[in-house]
Amino acid sequence: MGYVTITGSNFENEVKNSPVPVLIDFWASWCGPCRMIAPFIDQLADEYDGRVKIGKVNVDEEQDLATLHGIVSIPTMVVYQNGNLINQKNGALPKNEIEKLFNDLL
């Protein structure tokens, strides 16, 4: 299935109302570290399909969502469960560190 593109218009439905935990990658096309971790995000979306929703927010296109989450550097990963922000970490993390952000929620 792959990741879901999160926007201001689908945030409520895709994130707040999700029955499974949601990992959101805040990124931009010009961000080198974001491009570096993109394959990890794609792999996690496939590996955890149905158990964790993986979403991406382009901060250039969705500045309101970035502001709402206090994003000051990218990449930043946030995790939601039951509509609540559970975890947040920024930087180009290795795949296993990204997994640690949500593994205890499964």
What are the percentages of helix, strand and coil residues in the chain, rounded to 5?
A: 35, 25, 40
d(CA 65, CA 71): 9
Look up the pTM and report it.
0.96
Nearest to 47 by CA among 96, 92, 85, 104: 96
- List, in order of start, the domains of the chain with CATH numbers: 4-105 (3.40.30.10)
Residues 6+ apart with CB under 8 A from 60: 28, 29
As annotated, the active-site residues are 31, 34
Nearest alpha carbon to residue 71 among 59, 83, 84, 53: 59
Splitting the chain (106 residues) into consecutive groups of 10 residues, what average pLDDT does each group show?
A: 92 98 98 98 96 98 97 98 97 97 95
pLDDT given for residue 89 in this prediction:
97
**pLDDT at 21 (0 to 100):** 98
- Among 103, 106, 79, which Cα is nearest to 90's? 79
> What pLDDT, on a 0 to 100 scale, did the predictor assign at position 58?
98
Residue 1, pLDDT score: 58
